A and B are shown apart, each in its own frame.
Chain A
Amino acid sequence: MDKLLKLLEDDATLTAEQLSVMLDKEVGEIKNIIEKYEKDGVVLGYKAIVDWDKTDREYVSALIEVKVMPQRDRGFDKIAEKIYNYPEVQSLYLMSGGFDLALIIEGKTMKEVAYFVAQKLATIEYVTATATHFVLRKYKDKGVIYGPAHIDERGNI
């Protein structure tokens, strides 16, 4: 059922009824499959993609490169867990290349982000270096282009 997953990935608001028609399956069956995906952790959640720049909310985000010393037996997992448990951490990846972990963090102000790095992240044992890159503008995220809402400009021909 890769098709179902692809459809949901593109538009999580599709109802079981709509999906059942699109995939030519019973509504009940679709509901069961989705439930199973959720139970098995294949589908982990559903979220809206928000362009906060269009709102009044104060918002900054940053990408932080982190170098760490891997732990015996635990590799990077333990340290990763320590980091991702902070709610301000939006994403965390183990990377190849010049540093080990990349995390994306959100905060209200640059100061708040800087505080997180200095007080929380850098002080974690085994973290040896960090480099913070503030996001100046988001052009595209999760396949969605940020900009003015799409207007259907097609004329009636």
Chain B
Amino acid sequence: MINYEKMLSKTVCDLKPSGIRRFFDMLADMKDVISLTIGEPDFITPWHIREAAIESLEKGKTYYTSNSGTVDLRNEISSYMKRKFQLDYNPKNEVIVTVGGSEAIDIAMRAILEPGDEVILPCPSFVCYEPIATMLGAKVININTKAENKFKLTPEELKAAITPKTKLLVLPFPNNPTGAILTREELEGIADVLRGTNIAILSDEIYAELTYGRKHVSIAQIDGMQERTIIASGFSKAYAMTGWRMGYICAPEILARQMLKIHQFAIMCAPTVSQFAAVEALRNGDEDVEIMRAEYNRRRVFLLEGFKKIGIDCFEAEGAFYLYPNIGKFGLTSEEFASRLLHEYNCAIVPGTAFGECGEGYARISYAYSMKHLTLALEKIEAFVKTLRK
């Protein structure tokens, strides 16, 4: 008999499965559910982008690319960073094309963290950072962002969390699940705390194109921050390209060089066909992003207003495509609220606790859905909330 317990890595076995997974499994068996749970665009990748990929296949461009991605794509990413954020990254050695933003996050954390190191992570946030840190033997120090601070990380909170062991700050803004963003002034406050330390920043900017009302600012734009910042970003959210698995890293050469080694050995290169699509997206996709952003914004405003009418407090998210309403006042835990809404009204939302304990009292609502769908969902939530008030 094989002893699988001995065979498998204890660290991996001990990883908790993603909290969001559990809820999704419950959803899987139900029919005709009006869901607000999906974290990817409801748009299809614009046709001209798909066409560029098809053309590359027709021409037989099915080889590996260089480890860090095609020269064309790295050039485009570099000029995009310059055009949008006035940031200089040398396409030769400071840009790496990755398999989605996820790989970018993974290689960044692996290049920085060692057993015993501490990584500071604002919560709630996307579910991948903590398990990666755990697998590296690093310790995660959570900072629970607060509604009264608009779910932003404050310099005071950051300062209090720093110890001599702190190696990395993860900065996941615009944030999934809260939709919070950080403005230039707020980033400056954070930069003030980090200046003079040896702490690196992993800035996950996958939602950078999806901010409403004001443009995204990267921490790398703040004086003295670029040298310690790894930007992880990608095409999934902005260009509706989730399935293409196209992400990238922008970082100073000295950091990029080490990340490239991991990428080289583990991945070889990102999918070639997707790289051709990504070049087209960056060259001719600005208008597509504009249209999608406008549509997300309409839905955002529509839902915010809807929640207000129903009497559910909701922080006015300025980024991503999520709202993070406060459902604490109805006397149910987030899980109970979501579970009853699902079973009694066939409407699915993600309980805040899927993103960690700090999510208690909240829920994540995705508005990557049609207006019709959102209207229907709001009606269901309203009906459910009415029964809770009685």
Contact = CB atoms under 8 A, between A and B. Distances in A.
A21 B39 contact: no
B37 A156 contact: yes
Given A18-B375, A21-B302, A156 B42 contact: no
Contacts of B372: 13
Contact of B27 (A152, A156, A157): A156
A22 B38 contact: no
A110 interface: no
A82 to B, nearest CB: 41
B302 A18 contact: yes
B305 interface: yes
A150 to B, nearest CB: 9
Interface residues of A, number: 12
A17 B48 CA distance: 35
Contacts of B38: 154, 156-157
A135 interface: no
A154 B39 CA distance: 9
A14 B371 contact: yes
B298 interface: yes
Contacts of A22: 298, 301-302
A10 to B, nearest CB: 10
A51 interface: no
Interface string B267-278: 000000000000
Nearest to A13: B372
A156 B28 contact: yes
Given A14-B371, A152-B42, A154-B42, A21 B37 contact: no
A21 B298 CA distance: 8
A26 interface: no
A156 B354 CA distance: 13
A29 interface: no
Interface string B362-390: 00000000011001000000000000000
A153 to B, nearest CB: 10
Contact of B301 (A13, A14, A24): A24
B240 to A, nearest CB: 11
Instruction: Classify chain B's interface size.
Output: 10 to 19
A157 B302 contact: no
Nearest to A23: B298
B375 A21 contact: no
A22 B304 CA distance: 10
B40 interface: yes
B85 interface: no
A103 B211 CA distance: 46
A154 B236 CA distance: 13
Contacts of B302: 18, 21-22
A94 B375 CA distance: 41
A11 interface: yes
B64 interface: no
Interface string B80-108: 00000000000000000000000000000
A156 B301 contact: no
A7 B299 CA distance: 12
Interface in A13-34: 13-14, 18, 21-22, 24
Contacts of A156: 24, 27-28, 35, 37-38
Nearest to A20: B305
Contact of A154 (B28, B40, B298): B40
A118 B298 CA distance: 51
A13 B371 CA distance: 11
A152 B33 CA distance: 12
A120 B86 CA distance: 67
B105 to A, nearest CB: 15
Interface string B5-48: 00000000000000000001001100000010111101000000
Contacts of B306: 21
Given A11-B371, A157-B39, 12 more contacts: A7-B298, A18-B302, A18-B371, A18-B375, A21-B301, A21-B305, A21-B306, A22-B298, A152-B42, A156-B27, A156-B38, A157-B40
Interface of B: 24, 27-28, 35, 37-40, 42, 298, 301-302, 305-306, 371-372, 375
22 contacts: A11-B371, A13-B372, A14-B371, A18-B302, A18-B371, A18-B375, A21-B301, A21-B305, A21-B306, A22-B298, A22-B301, A154-B38, A154-B40, A154-B42, A156-B24, A156-B27, A156-B28, A156-B35, A156-B37, A157-B38, A157-B39, A157-B40
Please provide the 9 A-B residue pairs with the shortest distance between their CB atoms, ordered closest to farther.
A156-B24, A21-B305, A22-B298, A21-B302, A154-B38, A22-B302, A21-B301, A154-B40, A156-B37
